[in-house]
Structure 1
Amino acid sequence: MTQLISGAFDYTVKEASAMKAKGSNEGAVILLVDEADALAQSRETAEMHHEDVSGVNAFIRGVDRLANERLPAAVIMCTNRYEALDPAVKRRSAEHLIFGRPDDDGRRALLGPRLAELGFSDADVDAIVAATGPRNGLPGFTYSDLTQRLVPSIVLDAYPSKPIEPARAVAIARALQPSPQFKDQR
């Protein structure tokens, strides 16, 4: 893992150094790390294997190298477990952006165009938006709940021989449970 992390930063440094050498103020290299908690988990965790600790150390060295060389590069880390990140990684971040679950407007903006293509009216979309919001003490649906679970469930319910029906889609939305909120176990 340490070699892979170091390799990713080496590549980022190489590309950013080439941009810097051109003297252009346009463009930058972005190193996107999805599920960042898997690479930069807190070294304070008792169960961490020594290779995991080495990987976090390599990650921190890579971030420091980009900063020290003042390269046109950014490291963007995505996680739904911010609290699991190593404190040294958090200290090095310039910005923290938090994206919560979508509210009614967010769910409508995401689902509306997709469902309109299937012939759903605005009232049909509103009914699904309501069915995917917070209910019975549960949080509302996440963006991935909507795009990776709900919409495919609606389509698969009708496949291969039935039309997609708004009333059935609402029933499917009501039957699905939203992803639970993450609870940090540390």
Structure 2
Amino acid sequence: MQRTNHKNNREEGFEPVESTAELLVLEPIGYPLSSILDDYPEIEDAGVFEFYAREQWNGHIARKGEYLFDGRMYPDFAYRIKEVKPPGSVIGMETSIIVHEDSVTTPAVEFHSNVSFEDIIGQNTAKKKCKLIEKYLEQPEKFGKWAPRNVLFFGPSGTGKTMLAKALANKANVPIIPVKATQMIGEYVGEGARQIHQLYDRAEDMAPCIIFIDELDAIALDRRHQELRGDVAEIVNALLTEMDGIVERDGICTIGATNRTNTLDPAVRSRFEEEIEFLLPDEEERFRILEMNISTFPLPVKDVDVKKIATMTKGLSGRDLVEKVLKTALHQAIIEDNEEVTGKHFEESVGKLFQKNGALMDNRMYS
């Protein structure tokens, strides 16, 4: 990162910039190094901040995308320059300085999911347990302290965790905010925690609603592994604060999803009142998944023993069946300029898959 500095630019041979910036728009980023101040220091008096900002950055050349570091109010806190008018001008005592605290990209909200429980084959136990969440979202005021606020979906990849969360939102007729945990990891200490708090602020405005955090282990990493990730500690603390309900946010259900429960921070895992397991499909369920998806092929299917394919694909998830078996078979038929997909295409796609990955276990390893 580079500090913009008028004097340094002169010394390095750049042409001096004569014009003074009329407007400077800053985006709060965070601390480059660990600090006791984990969260973003909120500006209570914009006028005071602007005065000190002008004074300490007076004479600095402001260029969009570069960084300014606070040296007085919150030492070493970083701001990114979002906009400067005119471009490449110098910060002066007359420059208007604005901080946009909400400039962080927020996850998209699905107000009306088009996924239903009928679209999910199998996972009957998980569906039954989700009935409680559905009732809570329909009438959150009735639950009080007994609300199912935090629920963990766990199981092998591709078994329908995301689909069930969306189906639940559809059934309860509430919005869902789906977010991958990796999106919450910031470049600076403090940024990830702030994004989590903003996520819950947004959910509170739309409550009742679901926050669905996929790949939860990416941020809720066991503290034994935190030295591998610089900002995990402050992200975990922010998440725990929200899950504990220290700030009461009625009508929000946090659903975390992972296929690696053994890597979760025990403190985070303990906050989930309910854990719902997702299983790999059995032979009958694999048959139904294959049959349902084959019916949507853009080419006709001939001489295919779907029962045989279901038997051959033991250990595969629903997503594996669609993405690695059916799609491979269909694409191969198209490459060969065939007008139909045959049993040979399906059997070859299964054979290649098992040859590439080795023998698949009945249950993929997760705990």
Same fold per superposition (TM over 0.5)? yes
Which one-letter code corresponds to 2:309 in the other structure? I
User: C-alpha deviations, 1:110-133, integer Å up to 9, x for none?
Assistant: 111222455558971101101101
Structure 1's 68 and 129: CA in aligned 2 closer, same or farther, altered over 3 A?
same
Cα distance in 1 for partners of 2:233, 2:303 equals 52
Structure 2: gaps (5+ residues): 1-191
> What is the match of residue 136 of structure 1?
none
C-alpha displacement of 1:53: 1.2
C-alpha displacement of 1:174: 2.7
Higher helix share: 1
> What is the match of residue 2 of structure 1?
193
Query: 2:274 aligns to what SS in structure 1?
Result: coil
Query: 1:111 aligns to what SS in structure 2?
Result: helix
> What is the match of residue 144 of structure 1?
319
C-alpha displacement of 1:15: 2.4
Say if 1:43 and 1:56, in contact at 8 Å, map to a contact too.
Answer: no
Q: CA RMSD in A?
A: 2.5
Cα distance in 2 for partners of 1:47, 1:147 equals 38
> What is the match of residue 73 of structure 1?
252
Cα distance in 1 for partners of 2:247, 2:262 equals 26
With a CA cutoff of 8 Å and minimum separation of 6, indicate the structure with the bigger relative contact order. 1
Identity %: 26
C-alpha displacement of 1:168: 2.4
Q: 1:53 aligns with which of 233, 240, 244?
A: 233
> What is the match of residue 343 of structure 2?
166
> What is the match of residue 137 of structure 1?
none
Count of residue correspondences:
166
Query: 2:258 aligns to what SS in structure 1?
Result: coil
Structure 1: gaps (5+ residues): 17-27, 134-139
Cα distance in 2 for partners of 1:176, 1:132 equals 10
Cα distance in 2 for partners of 1:131, 1:10 equals 48
Structure 1's 60 and 46: CA in aligned 2 closer, same or farther, altered over 3 A?
closer
> What is the match of residue 93 of structure 1?
272
Cα distance in 1 for partners of 2:196, 2:203 equals 11
Say if 1:41 and 1:84, in contact at 8 Å, map to a contact too.
Answer: yes
Say if 2:197 and 2:238, in contact at 8 Å, map to a contact too.
Answer: yes
After TM superposition, the score normalised by the length of structure 2 is: 0.41
Which one-letter code corresponds to 2:195 in the other structure? L
User: C-alpha deviations, 1:24-72, integer Å up to 9, x for none?
Assistant: xxxx21000011111211122253434111111111111123x762611
Cα distance in 1 for partners of 2:241, 2:193 equals 11
Structure 1's 120 and 5: CA in aligned 2 closer, same or farther, altered over 3 A?
same
After TM superposition, the score normalised by the length of structure 1 is: 0.78
Cα distance in 1 for partners of 2:232, 2:249 equals 27
Higher strand share: 2
Cα distance in 2 for partners of 1:50, 1:168 equals 47
Say if 1:127 and 1:170, in contact at 8 Å, map to a contact too.
Answer: no
